[in-house]
Structure 1
Amino acid sequence: MTTDWTAEARRIARGRRFDEFSSPPARQAASPLPLSEAEIREAEAELGIAFPDQYREYPLRQSAGGTVNRLCRSSAGWGRHGDSSTNYDLLTTDFPHPDSYRADEDELDAREPPAQDFPDRNAYQAAWEQWDAEYEVFQERKTSGAVFIQENGCGFSTLLVVTGPHRGSLWFDGRATCDLILPLTLEGRPVSFTDWLARRSTDLVCW
């Protein structure tokens, strides 16, 4: 059975809840008040995840936002304010280590349709759009099981893994320039959420 990748890309993109969380409010405190234990549990239950311990203490003891994208409830449910990148439909799927899909990405790159293989422009365009949509789905799945907790400018973001073997680890989404998602490390080890709070993500990336 042939996959309609254009339809699949549209379906998977709906998990971003763009309209609900992408625009900042007209007025927002620089450091929103902490959330209650009941609110944290409600968010976890609704999202189908358990927040990593160190992160969980942050909205509970310090602030619902501040350094990280604010965790809040909208008409669509719980999510992160100012974040249009987290795919909430993929949060319960394990975050894939980049090494696990490198060969698949190379194979997908190699399948980009060449224009000379098609009898006319329309046939080529239709094939290329299907390939491009498949690539879009592939890229979206790279951040399964992770939340975009901080925007770092120029298309860069910091990810916190919430599902799978790498749960609790932090990653730098550098795809805007280098097409890579890279681990954040401190002194050669994965940086903890607590240590990350006092540093800049760009200082913790080995480019």
Structure 2
Amino acid sequence: MAEIAGPGWYQFPMNLEYVDPAVLAELREAVGADDDGASALGRPAVRAFEQRHGVVLPEPYRSFVAEVSDGSKAGPPDYGLVGLEDLPADYGSDGSERDLARPFPLTEPWLWEGEDDEPDEARLRSVFDDGSIVLGTDGCGMNWHLIVTGPHRGHVWMISGEGAMPFGAEFGHTTGEPGFAGWVRHWAAGEEWFDAG
């Protein structure tokens, strides 16, 4: 069980190593996946991906792509959940610079748009390319990432051309639960992503 905390945030435990079968069933229903898992990758393909990239995907996402579905046109987000090996059409690069094993560099929101100084290019590149897989896009370069390495492993982040912020009630801006399951639940309930005052 991993605990994530930061300045001013309470600790919220997330189980990233085990998936409750009921949670997996809930995710299947939320994205409208086939019950036979025909679009799922299977455990051997997921393990091969993890070995190639030097990571272990956090649960419940790991079991979701292995047993339920590798992507979903229905969503989340607005333009659908992309496959494990894919990037949204509007990603802006071919992904060749991405390094999933290198830790994701942030633990707090970062809004670089409007800063007085230009953002550090190496840090900015790391935010987009290190320690995360891209779940999908809401268009206009607003991409959702699942963090797979670093202190925020298991959390979902919105990363756009203007800034990056974690999803989950303890981080503000939303009433949703953190992590992949909380992110999917929030979408399935028809809630706005940023629904907290």
What TM-score comes out, normalization by structure 2 length? 0.59
Equivalent in the alignment of 1:169: 155
Alpha-carbon distance, 1:192 to partner? 2.5
- The SS at the match of 1:141 is helix
Q: Does 1:139 align with 2:128?
A: no
- Rounded Cα–Cα distance in structure 1 between residues aligned with 2:65 and 2:179: 16
Structure 1 residue runs of 5 or longer lacking an equivalent are 1-29, 72-78, 111-133
- Among 65, 76, 94, the residue aligned to 2:103: 94
Equivalence map 1:31-42=2 (5 Å): 33-42=39-48
Larger Rg: 1
Structure 2 residue runs of 5 or longer lacking an equivalent are 1-32, 76-80
- Rounded Cα–Cα distance in structure 1 between residues aligned with 2:57 and 2:125: 21
Identify if the C-alpha distance between structure 1 residues 38 and 151 changes in structure 2 by more than 3 Å, giving closer, same or farther: same
Q: Does 1:60 align with 2:45?
A: no
- Rounded Cα–Cα distance in structure 2 between residues aligned with 1:81 and 1:63: 16
The residue identity in structure 1 corresponding to 2:126 is R
Q: Quick one: higher RCO (CA 8 Å, sep 6+), 1 or 2? A: 1
Q: Is the 8 A contact 1:47 1:88 kept in 2?
A: no
- The SS at the match of 2:60 is helix
| Cα RMSD for the two superposed structures | 3.4
Equivalent in the alignment of 2:83: 70
Q: Does 1:191 align with 2:196?
A: no
- Rounded Cα–Cα distance in structure 2 between residues aligned with 1:202 and 1:153: 18
Alpha-carbon distance, 1:98 to partner? 5.7
The residue identity in structure 2 corresponding to 1:204 is W
- Among 133, 137, 141, the residue aligned to 1:151: 137
How many residues get paired? Answer: 143
Identify if the C-alpha distance between structure 1 residues 95 and 139 changes in structure 2 by more than 3 Å, giving closer, same or farther: same
The residue identity in structure 2 corresponding to 1:142 is V
What TM-score comes out, normalization by structure 1 length? 0.56
- The SS at the match of 2:138 is strand
Identify if the C-alpha distance between structure 1 residues 196 and 87 changes in structure 2 by more than 3 Å, giving closer, same or farther: farther
Equivalent in the alignment of 1:160: 146
Of Structure 1 and Structure 2, the greater helix share is in 1
More displaced, 35-44 or 182-191?
A: 182-191
